[in-house]
Structure 1
Amino acid sequence: MSDWRELRTTTWSMVALIFMVAFESLAVTTVMPTVSDALDGASLYAFAFAGPLATGVVGMVLAGPWSDRSGPRTPLLVAIGLFTAGILVAGAAPSMEVLVAGRLLQGFGGGAMTVALYVVVARLYPAMLHPRVFAWFAAAWIIPSLVGPAGAGVVAQHLGWRWVFLGVALLVVPTTLLLVPALRRIGPPETAGEAAPRGRLAWAALAAAAVLGLNLAAQVPLPWSVLVAVGTGLGALVALRAVVPAGTMRAARGLPSVIATRGLVSGAFLGAEVYLPYLLTERYAFSPTTAGIALTFAGVAWAGTSWLQGRLGDRLPSRTAVVVGSALVVVSVAGVLLTAAAHLPPAVAISSWTLAGAGMGLVYSRLTVLVLSYSAPGTQGVNSSALSIADSIGAALALALTGLAFAAVDRSPDAPFTAALAVAAVFAVGAALVGPRVGSGRPQAEESTDDAASSALRS
């Protein structure tokens, strides 16, 4: 274990990698219409976004057990290599089909990278530093949210859209080189985990297919879209049950509730976020740039409360952070929902969404901290991958259902937004109900200590 000063270079390297993932996510959203037009790929436009989310699930499942078994160094370097290769393929793509293939590879590497970085934190940093590290991870999204869309537009206009991809790939290499010395210090865990069972990989593949189906369901005409959503939704839930800790689907106390809360709160936040700019531009005549301010405010609030909870450390119990943060998300989504339903002033929606960012800043990092605290040596990767999988599937399910609700209701201009945001509100309420159960289990480290003490007393 090392202190914060000894790990500065490592910390900044990992934060930089997450920064690049965040920038790529936001930048691609900005330039994809240009890419689609240039490559005549309108039919694959949605797939270019849904694909990386789906393949990321498989990457998460593979990286978790691999990191537990051999340490996170090799899985992380392989994941970075795949992520970079995907960006290069997308940047050089002669057709939309090739670009989508690159995006699939990019998503696979990105999903594995996230899990491996969590294990690096678990293996290299003292537990007292975990909240601070994850606060920096969350803060790494704030600058891309401010400059990513505009920066991508400038690059696409003056250098061409390909450099939005290729430029990031060039930055990944030196950042990774700075991280390698620290990775060499991490050996295999004393208690090695097991390889990913073939059945687990099969379930991950099913989850990936279901995620794609859920995201594409809204593109299918009614009533077939409902059938697609039900079928793929059930498939996603069945697959999720097989790759998360036992008890997650019923929100059992402790680790299962941590995983369940992550899926629900991610679904609530993303399910509402994608419709807020749309609501502001359609119903309040905001320009796209002005509508984006609402997301910027939320990003700043997210980074701010994430930094604050990191500084507070153990003075702010994780259960309290999750309960308060989940409640803030409920209030926030309700505020945006009421704005759409009653056509309230747009300031209500913008201020509400700023509060949503604050709530997510409290919840997101602490859920990751709780997963590590509940994980015995050799299970940190598996549990971290389960957290990320729940995140992806929860968001995909919310997007599919909000999309179906939006398409199914057209009685008035405000009705589609109201219906979609109502679905997001259901996810938010679910997170608030499950959140209090996250702190009811006992950390594995504590249990191990108690078992040892009991053995000593019996001796």
Structure 2
Amino acid sequence: MTGRRPARTTGPLLLAAGIVAIEFAAAVTGFVASTLLPVVTAELAARGSLGLLIAGSTLGLFVALPLAGRVLDRLGTRGTLAAGMLAYVGGLAVAATARTAWTFALGQFATGLASGLLAVFGIGSAIRHLDERLRTRVVAASSAMWLVPALVGPAATLGLEHLVGWRWTLLVPVPFVLLGRLLIVRAVRDAPPDRSARRPLGRTLLIPLGATGVVVSAGWWPLAIAGAVTAVAGMIALLPAGTARFRPGTPAALGAMALFGVGYFGADSLITVLLTTGFRVSLGEAALVLSAAPLAWAVTSLLATRFTSPRLPAAGLSLTALGTTVLAVELLADGSWVVALVAWAVAGIGVGLAYPGLYIRATTAGASGFSATELATAVITAECTGQLLGRAVGGALSSSGGAGGLSASYLVFGFALVAAAVAATRATDD
């Protein structure tokens, strides 16, 4: 009896620590990738292929999601961990040694594939093994994990890039990613996979297939439009009924999450290119703006948890839409770096106000009758599909029209965030 108790106590703590470590790794990875984007674009002569550079990892994630359960059945937990680590390190090695945009995108695709291998299994394990009190603490700790990377990530990335080059700097997140995955697998190594979370292969693959069409369209709009329609159709097929119509309650919250992903993550993925190309500022100044929104998001989220107003998500998303639209207008008007810094910080404050309440509403069954696993799968599908579409559409627009294309991208992002704010007003009604 006494020999088993430590395992029961340590398991959930290891799992919680692994989830927090993965969130920290995601923050580090995001800041490294965004800070280095202008350097990689110039090095690989990829100004016309931005979609490839920024959407590769998310495409890999979506390809992996329907395969994760099948891989776990065949390889087991330890085998899946080994395969995921090999794919992640191998993908980064390919990206770090790339000489063309396509090779870089292939490496990023492999890292996304590795990240997705354990995604559904990890989420299901968190739902089954962490009680509500511990999950609440994990959410709070995960939000805080963005503070340090937001403060020092861009500057440290630029310093390392200056010392050792962007190729070696790209490998910085590896220890954090591997540590988080190791902790999660050690915590749930004997747990069977959650077969109820398995996704249909064909419908899930519609999302990356459609997004790939947008990425490779190269300005040929029939292909771009067909790709976007295919990706949206795949998302609608996977999400609960009523999401596409923004049915009041949980479906509307999930729809708002998808539109939020399009607007915010699309804008965030291009912010350094916007500043260095459109505003013609240095990469160091662009890195400061890059940090503004995540830092404001993290701090505001910690404060917003003290309030329970159902109007916060819509109000916050409206602020984010305002800040994003200001960037588009300022680019056309040859605006100042200071205005861009303030606008992006305001956008981050808006996300901090909106995200906690919107996420809780999207993962609360209410009168909808959805299970916890269905909601966990749905919220990741909604947010990640929005993120993938935002990056793909933004990359396609920005690659084809110079400063005008960048401005058009941010106007599209602003419109998506306005639509998200409208959808959020319906999320409070069951």
TM-score range relative to shorter protein: 0.7 to 0.9
RMSD of aligned Cα (Å) = 4.1
Show CA shifts across 1:205-254 (max 9, x none): 2211111222333x33xxxx211111111111211121111111111122
Residue of structure 1 in register with 2:339 after alignment:
348
Bigger radius of gyration among the two: 1
Look up the SS of the partner of 1:240 in the other structure.
helix
Deviation at 1:301, TM superposition (A): 0.6
Name the structure 2 match of 1:273.
Answer: 268
Asked if the contact 2:215/2:396 (under 8 Å) is kept, the reply is no
Is 1:193 matched up with 2:196? yes
**Shift in CA distance, 259/76, structure 1 to aligned 2, threshold 3 Å:** farther
Instruction: Tell me whether 1:436 sits opposite 2:417 in the alignment.
Output: no
Higher mean C-alpha deviation, range 120-129 or range 28-37: 28-37
- SS in structure 2 at match of 1:193: helix
Could you tell me which amino acid in structure 2 is paired with residue 258 of structure 1?
Answer: A
Alpha-carbon offset, residue 438 of structure 1: 1.7
| C-alpha separation in 1, matches of 2:48 and 2:332 | 32
Higher mean Cα deviation, 38-47 or 121-130? 38-47
Aligned to 1:87: 89
Name the structure 1 match of 2:20: 15
Question: Partner residue of 1:148?
Answer: 153
- Deviation, 1:302, is 0.6
Q: Is the 8 A contact 1:18 1:140 kept in 2?
A: yes
Equivalent of residue 110 in structure 2, options 97, 105, 108: 105
The CA deviation string for residues 108-155 of structure 1, in whole angstroms up to 9 with x for no partner, is 232354544443443333335545422332332333334334434444
Matching residue of 1:449: none
2: distance between equivalents of 1:403 and 1:35?
15
Per the alignment, residue 325 of structure 1 pairs with 316
Superposed, 1:272-421 pairs within 5 Å as 272-282=267-277, 284-310=279-305, 312=306, 315-317=307-309, 319-374=310-365, 379-403=371-395, 405-406=397-398, 415-421=404-410
The structural deviation recorded for 1:326 is 1.6
Asked if residue 56 in structure 1 is aligned to residue 61 in structure 2, the reply is: yes
Maintained 8 Å contact 1:340/1:418? yes
Cα distance in 1, alignment partners of residues 176 and 38 from structure 2: 24
CA distance in 1, matches of 2:351, 2:165: 35
Displacement after TM superposition at 1:203 (Å):
1.6
Mark the runs of 5 or more structure 2 residues left unpaired by the alignment.
1-8
- Residue 287 of structure 1: how far off its partner (Å): 1.5
Distance 2:381 2:231 in 1: 11
Q: Which runs of 5+ in 1 are unaligned?
A: 442-459
One-letter amino acid of the counterpart of residue 361, structure 1: G
Task: Output the CA distance in 2 between the equivalents of 1:408 and 1:101.
Answer: 22
| Distance of 1:76 and 1:336 partners within structure 2 | 46
Cα separation, 1, equivalents of 2:331 and 2:43: 35
Please, what TM-score do these two structures have when normalized by structure 2?
A: 0.80
Aligned length: 419
TM-score, normalised to structure 1's length? Answer: 0.75
User: Equivalent residue for 1:453?
Assistant: none
Give 2:4's aligned residue.
none
| Pairing 1:135-174 to 2, within 5 Å after superposition | 135-156=140-161, 158-159=163-164, 163-164=168-169, 166-174=171-179
SS at match of 2:246: coil
The aligned counterpart of 1:210 is 210
CA offset at residue 29 of structure 1?
4.3
| 1:230 paired to 2:225 | yes
Identity %, equivalent residues: 24
Structure 1 pair 195–130 and aligned structure 2 pair: CA distance change class (3 A): closer
Contact 1:80 / 1:109 at 8 angstroms: preserved in 2? no
